[in-house]
Amino acid sequence: MRLEGVESTLAGTTVSEAVIETRQAGSIEVEVHGHRSEACRELAGAIAERVRQRAAEGRVYVLGLPTGSTPVPLYAELVRLHREEGLSFANVVTFNLDEYYGLSPENPQSYHAFMRKHLFDHVDIPREQTHIPDGTVARDQADQHCRDYEAAIRDAGGIDLMLLGIGHNGHIGFNEPGALEASRTRLVRLDEVTRHMAATAFGDHDHVPEEAITVGVATILEAREIVLMAWGSLKAKAVARAVRPPVEAAVPATYLQRHDAVKFLLNKGSATWMDPS
Ligand code: GLP
């Protein structure tokens, strides 16, 4: 990761012993850890260092945040750093990637609820510095809401570090197969693969919302730096496809190849593509 000022934590000789392998896949730097918890500890440490550095300069640090099972150990480690090592989030501004359309912030399946449960309720981030698309916005006001979301990102100075997971179909945020590189925050229809994967969380497939509001591919690519996390063999195929040409709308994560500061943080399971045997 080319985060200025945190190279000492992440690059070269002082990189944690838990790193099994680092390699370059085209423009994408890939780091494989033995276990997801080790990968998250290292990433959380790098974020903490940058947050503290910005605080000392009297500046904010702007994070783009994902949901799903993937970032849970990262958020747990950030909470631990807050509780045990005094890391303050007072100068952190966050923008979540997406929200299910039709779910209120109180709905336990909403990404609002997810973020409160895993991060926001446990750290000192001022609530007005957190942003998540509103899944309850009226349909005829959705476009305006999405434009306002983009404007809020710009007003915050842009996203410093965009954290991502990856869908089994190669989606990032809810930019499903077919999403355009120039896409911006918008209301989208969810892919059936995505709805299928979410069925357990919602009780059954029919209860999974059919639409969501997601930031766009262009919004993601404007972030200064991007770290995509993926754990476990179920993600190996999507990861393998994401790092290899061609860049194509059928696999939106391939658009990340166009960015010059992207890192994929993997564990052994999600990196099985590295060993073709
Ligand atoms: C959802 C989110 C994505 C996330 C993906 C993977 O679809 N919108 O941002 O990356 O799930 O989820 P998980 O981390 O649970 O595998």
Question: pLDDT tens across 32-70, in order?
Answer: 999 999 999 999 999 999 999 999 999 999 999 999 999
Predicted confidence at residue 208, as pLDDT, reads 97
At residue 45, the 3 state secondary structure works out as helix
Predicted confidence at residue 110, as pLDDT, reads 98
For ligand 1, mutation pick of 197, 202, 214 (most atoms within 8 Å of CB)? 197
- Is-catalytic flag, 169? yes
Note the Cα 207 to chain centre separation in Å: 24
Specify whether the CB–CB gap between 62 and 29 falls below 8 A: no
Q: 72-85 and 111-118 helices cross at what angle (nearest 10)?
A: 40
Which residues on adjacent β-strands are paired with residue 175? Answer: 172
Specify whether the CB–CB gap between 164 and 220 falls below 8 A: yes
Which helix H or strand E contains 131, and what residues bound it? strand 130-131
Report the C-alpha gap between 38 and 31 in whole angstroms. 11
- Is-catalytic flag, 82? no
Residues of the chain with pLDDT under 70: 1-17, 274-277
Specify whether the CB–CB gap between 15 and 21 falls below 8 A: no
* Backbone φ, ψ for residue 245 (5° rounding): -65, 160
CA of 173 to the centre of ligand 1 (A): 7
* Cβ density class 54-66: b for 16+ within 10 Å, e for less: bbeeeebbbbbbb
Atom from ligand 1 closest to the CA of residue 71: 14
Predicted confidence at residue 16, as pLDDT, reads 53
CA of 167 to the centre of ligand 1 (A): 5
Predicted confidence at residue 191, as pLDDT, reads 94
**pTM as predicted:** 0.93
CB of residue 67 inside a 6 A radius of ligand 1: yes
